[in-house]
Amino acid sequence: QQQVKQSPQSLIVQKGGISIINCAYENTAFDYFPWYQQFPGKGPALLIAIRPDVSEKKEGRFTISFNKSAKQFSLHIMDSQPGDSATYFCAARKTSGSRLTFGEGTQLTVNP
Amino acid sequence: GAGVSQSPRYKVAKRGQDVALRCDPISGHVSLFWYQQALGQGPEFLTYFQNEAQLDKSGLPSDRFFAERPEGSVSTLKIQRTQQEDSAVYLCASSLVRWGQREKLFFGSGTQLSVL
């Protein structure tokens, strides 16, 4: 049972463009929504996170947009750079839970 | 160390062999997690420790999987009688505070287990 669905599976963007990755969740008990970046051979690293009391959070070139009624959230990477090429995972966690539930991942390639 | 350290980095096991994977969390971190990441997939939760107490082991796929953190620092994930479906990257993660307090989770680079 996939509780967090992520799309697209892969994405190719030109340098300077905007990368957009989408996630949808089913469980309304989720209250914490982080995005992780993973390079080959490395563990995931926290990029940015949001809680459902806000609709948008921005940190540098990275923005999370959150739509509580639609149960969707997305990651926007502005001015994408070749160094952003990695796999990105959205995740979600319940209010009282310990585990993170991850999406399937999006492999982003930024062409120079 | 500066980050979460996992060893070995790679492990090849014959089917039926027992393996032990080690995790050294960041010093002083209270919470410790194990995740399993199959090729091309997102990490899946296995188990969670708060200090030495294993508070959630609901993600362990079978009774062949066992984890411990006896002194509240280093943790070991043991897999008995390994099967081919156990082949995956096993990730350890830690956080400074008790889970739920606006914590930041730090992942290690993982142990890649291949069962032949």
pLDDT in tens, chain A (112 residues): 569 999 999 999 999 999 999 999 999 889 899 999 999 999 999 999 998 889 999 999 999 999 999 999 999 999 999 999 999 999 999 877 778 999 999 999 999 9
Q: State the pLDDT confidence band at B97, using cuts at 50, 70 and 90.
A: confident
Beta carbon pairs, A and B, within 8 Å:
48
Closest CA to B92 of B21, B27, B19, B33: B33
Residue B55 dihedral angles phi and psi, to the nearest 5°:
-90, -20
Q: Out of B44, B100, B109, whose CB is closest to A42?
A: B109
Q: Is B116 exposed, middle or buried (0-12, 13-18, 19+ CB in 10 A)?
A: exposed
Phi, psi of B30 (to 5 degrees): -85, -45
The answer on pLDDT for B29 being more than 80 is yes
The residue type of A67 is: N
Q: In whole numbers, what is the pLDDT of chain B averaged over residues?
A: 93
The residue whose two tokens read 């009774």 is B63
In angstroms, the CA B109 to CA A38 distance is 10
Residue B98 has pLDDT above 90, yes or no: no
Q: What is the pLDDT of residue B69?
A: 97
Interface of chain A toward chain B, CB-CB under 8 angstroms: 6, 34, 41-46, 89, 91, 96, 98-105
| Contact state of B109 with A43 under an 8 Å Cβ cutoff | yes
A43/B107 CB distance under 8 A: yes
Nearest residue in A to B39, CA atom: A104
The DSSP bridge pattern shows strands A106-111 and A10-14 to be parallel
pLDDT value of position A98: 78
Q: How far apart are CA A93 and CA A77, in angstroms?
A: 23
Closest Cα partner for B25 from B12, B36, B34? B34
- Which residues of chain B does A43 touch, with a Cβ-Cβ cutoff of 8 Å? 4, 91, 93, 107-110
In chain A, the residue whose alpha carbon lies closest to the alpha carbon of B110 is A43
Asked if B36 and B16 touch (Cβ cutoff 8 Å), the reply is no
**pLDDT digit string (tens) for B40-77?**
999 999 999 999 999 999 999 999 999 999 999 999 99
Q: What is the model's pLDDT at position B101?
A: 56
CA distance A59 to chain B (A): 15
Q: Which of A99, A104, A106, A107 to mutate to test the interface with B (most CBs of B within 10 A)?
A: A99
- Which residue in A98, A101, A104, A107 has the most chain B C-beta atoms within 10 A of its own C-beta, making it the best mutation to test that interface? A98
State the Cα torsion B33-B53-B102-B23 to the nearest 10°: -30
Q: So what's the pLDDT on residue B102? A: 58
Residues 6+ apart with CB under 8 A from B14: B82, B115, B116
* Distance in angstroms (rounded) separating the CA atoms of residues A44 and B108: 8
Nearest chain B residue (CA) to A48: B104
Chain A positions touching B59 (Cβ under 8 A) are: 99
Put simply, the answer to whether A41 touches B109 (Cβ < 8 Å) is: yes
